[in-house]
Structure 1
Amino acid sequence: MRPLRGLWWRTFAALVVCFGYQVPAQADATWPATINIGIQKGDPLVALRASGELEKAFAQHGVAVKWMEFVYGAPLVEAINIGDVDVGTVGATPPILAQAGAAPGVVYVASAPRMQKSYGLIVPANSPARRIEDLKGKKIAFAKGSQGHLFVLKALADAGLPASAVQFVYLNYSDARAAFERGFIDAWAVPDPRYADTELATGARTILSIGQLSVPQYGFYIGSREFAQRYPAALRLLFDVLDRQTALELAHPAQTAQFLSQNTGVRLEIWTRALPRLEWGVHYPLTDEVVKAQQDCADLAYREHVIPRKIDVREAIVDIR
């Protein structure tokens, strides 16, 4: 395993030289003593943590890097809210819940590319369901407050169905997987790499991908308003290193899948299936198109009583340029 890892990072280092990678000069900036980063299984920060490259970049400014892993977005938002995490990546739903609820200090600082195939609504291989309309009266599982929450709500709305047409079952990923395999639920909204894992293990079929929704869904990099306003240079450095490394990883999927398998405990065949579907990347500031799509999601959340009040997404954006 070690020789492969060494080969991968020698290759990466050579590619970095070819790309002319340099840490941006920020000599006059104020830097935190530590940057606390929240990650989830399928986001590009996982690979960045394993590489050690971010630590090298921040060491030049005397900044330590601390990582915390979360099962899904809602707990990550709470960690930002209480000050344990400075920045992390989530789907569309968690920051909407934060802004409308008890965590107004959580803000958007960057976006990921539009989600296309990294999130699927799946059914068992022997299910007669071929589209979401076939799930009327059935049980659909997702983690409450996750990206899957709005995915399912929007899918129902696109089909002209009210939320009451199905039964929502709120389960974390491990419980949902067990319920799916035992036939206790009829469908499951799940992201990669758990999505790929379930397909390979059970033969699950996809009846809808998130990119098929009528309104685009995006992932986001979020942080505390205080950190984003005080240390924008730290976030820019994080995103610069992340963006350059992600481009190299996506250009070499076989090596990346091998590297991730060695460093995450997730099998190689799962990463091999998931990587082509993952929308890795980072862009800031948020574009008008992204803001409009997220506002549409927030309005849907209000109409469906997921949040208690209407919100203006723009009020929760910090421009870190």
Structure 2
Amino acid sequence: MSALRCRLWQVLAALALCLGLQLPAFADAVWPSVIDIGIQKGDPLVALRASGELEKAFAPYGVTVKWKEFVYGAPLVEAINTGDVDVGAVGSTPPILAQAGAAPGVVYVAFAPRLQKSYGLIVPAHSPVQRIEDLKGRKIAFAKGSQGHLFVLKALADAGLPPSAVQFVYLNYSDARAAFERGFIDAWAVPDPRYADTELATGARTILTIGQLSVPQYGFYIGSREFARRYPGALRLLFDVLDRQTALELAHPTQTAEFLAQNTGVRLDVWSRALPRLEWGVRYPLTDEVVKAQQDAADLAYREHVIPRRIDVREAIIDIR
């Protein structure tokens, strides 16, 4: 373990003791032998994996923790649907697609704070585009089925523009970055830390952040219906450790950025820019406000033919309390 990692976690452990933070007892819970957790580059589970704290929390219950990394939400949803992953963090779009399509076994089990500044619609530094209305007839890129998909649709709806007013270009993150730098696309909906990386590398300008949409947008923790019903205690323990760890990490942004740079392969300057914008945290169960906002997103997805049928978000929620 590096000296930096030791110093960071000594600070965090000391703060936890000062605050009197303790994990609840789960003596009466049923435990899986393994919990498979899906992660994406900008979600708080990345830091939790690097810390090793979750493995310590699960050890007394004989649970092995396995981590699997995904580029964006849609493949993570598919992995949960096939049973390769038990739980993971995604934006608002993937669970809507899952419920409306071939993955009805994927359910909401918790949510993250309202998304504000961690997802941006960006344009090249010297682009004449200043606002969403200026993108008429131009190309907007995002990963199909990602949070960026509904972000763009909602942004257009807020501006009174139909999707036909622009050209959608479906690209994964690496391809979108290359297209953005070469001028093949006019705008890109992108999350942190890729958002921060692109700003620093290209001088990209933000014309809209996700928090400026007319309806709140949230991140979600999703799992398989079977796992959530059988092992709610395991999910509660995961989320309680995550919530405690996230509070400590955000209380020490400088050390956390250094720690993440060492453990993720993403540069320190990128994490230093992205970390203050990340809406890390976890709450359960889903509140009425969160459900209402997600239902708005699902209705938008249906109106714009992203999903083939109307859905009731509440039918895909498991209360793990």
Normalised TM-score (structure 1): 0.99
Indicate the percent of aligned positions where both proteins have the same amino acid. Answer: 86
Unaligned ranges ≥5, structure 2 = none
Give the aligned partner of residue 227 of structure 2.
227
What pairs up with 1:1-321 in 2 under 5 angstroms? 2-321=2-321
Shift of 1:5: 1.3
Letter in 1 for 2:310: K
Shift of 1:21: 3.0
For residues 3 and 25 of structure 2, what CA distance do their matches in structure 1 show? 34
Q: What do residues 195-244 of structure 1 show as CA deviations (whole Å, max 9, x unaligned)? A: 00000000000000000000110000000000000000000000000000
For residues 133 and 316 of structure 2, what CA distance do their matches in structure 1 show? 35
Shift of 1:250: 0.7
Q: Give the 3-state SS of the residue equivalent to 1:60 in structure 2.
A: helix
Report the count of equivalent residues.
Answer: 321
For residues 66 and 295 of structure 2, what CA distance do their matches in structure 1 show? 32
For residues 269 and 30 of structure 2, what CA distance do their matches in structure 1 show? 43
Q: Give the 3-state SS of the residue equivalent to 1:293 in structure 2.
A: helix
Q: Report the aligned-residue RMSD.
A: 0.7
For residues 194 and 132 of structure 2, what CA distance do their matches in structure 1 show? 21
Shift of 1:13: 1.6
Letter in 2 for 1:255: Q
Q: What do residues 20-69 of structure 1 show as CA deviations (whole Å, max 9, x unaligned)? A: 23332111211000000000011100000000000000001000000000
Shift of 1:8: 0.9
Letter in 2 for 1:157: A
Letter in 2 for 1:59: A
Q: Give the 3-state SS of the residue equivalent to 2:32 in structure 1.
A: coil
Unaligned ranges ≥5, structure 1 = none
Q: What do residues 248-290 of structure 1 show as CA deviations (whole Å, max 9, x unaligned)? A: 1111111110110010010000000001100001010000000
For residues 146 and 28 of structure 1, what CA distance do their matches in structure 2 show? 38
Letter in 1 for 2:17: V
